[in-house]
Amino acid sequence: MSLLAIEDLHVEVEGKPILKGVNLSIGKGQVHALMGPNGSGKSTLSYTLLGHPKYAVTRGRILFDGKDVTAAKTHERARAGMFLAFQYPTAIPGVSVANFLRTSLKAIKGDEGVVKTFRKNLREKMQQLEMDEKFASRYVNDGFSGGEKKRLETLQLAMIEPKLAVLDETDSGLDIDALRIVSEGINRLASPERGILLITHYQRILDYVKPQFIHVLVEGRIAHSGGPGLAKELESKGYDWLQEKHPAEAA
């Protein structure tokens, strides 16, 4: 049984069709990369998976851990074990990183075990991500650089330890050092019980995070799937090559 199964998914935003029949299956222990040109529907898929109300499913369904979650609320999906790292994380002035993470953990996992181990776990995860301890007292994403925002997203992932991590362009805006650190954090979370969907526009993060499967989304459909070598091929040939190779699928 797949951890995540997306079946013939059609999605509209404000009446405009964006996803036009997406099929995708992710098993436990698997890392999948989703690539594609701008405007192909990658972020729409990520928001839809976590139940953003702006994105209306008009056909198809989403199964998670064997259960149909197509109509589930976002908090229900989070408690079931789904996690989304945003491409553009929101600032929350007045709320410290530590309080935000503690509250998130309690909301998802309940009070039991959170309070006693929280500080120790937070310190360990921050050290792994090469983050200063003072970071925990700063307000969430308030005045953060692009790299700091993405490290915080990775820290959330490390603390929550979901069954499925959906990472929407985590490499966006990162310099080479921040990219390495964030990638190491993602790799550290890979496990036989966890699935990862890494959404990216560029090949460079795939030099650090090695997916077993790569899918290309074009105009709301997965036009092509392949192994790790597909990313290098796209890097050298571009997406136009794929559209010419699979015109019927990409249309």
> Helices then strands (H, E): number in the chain?
8, 12
Q: Which residues constitute the domain of residue 35?
A: 4-250
Q: What is the pLDDT of residue 19?
A: 98
Cα–Cα separations (whole angstroms), residue 80 to 24, 61, 117, 195, 249: 19, 16, 22, 13, 33
Question: In CATH, what number is assigned to the domain containing residue 30?
Answer: 3.40.50.300
Rounded CA-CA distance 9/24 in Å is: 9
Do 192 and 124 contact (CB within 8 A), yes or no?
no
Determine contact, residues 48/9, Cβ cutoff 8 Å. Answer: yes
What is residue 208's three-state secondary structure?
Answer: coil
Strand extents, DSSP E, 44-181: 55-64, 67-68, 82-85, 92-96, 139-140, 164-168
Give the type of residue at 173: G
Spans of the chain, pLDDT less than 50? 248-251
pLDDT at 92: 95
Calpha distance 102→125 (Å, rounded)? 14
pLDDT at 112: 59
State the pLDDT at residue 198: 96
Domain count for the chain: 1
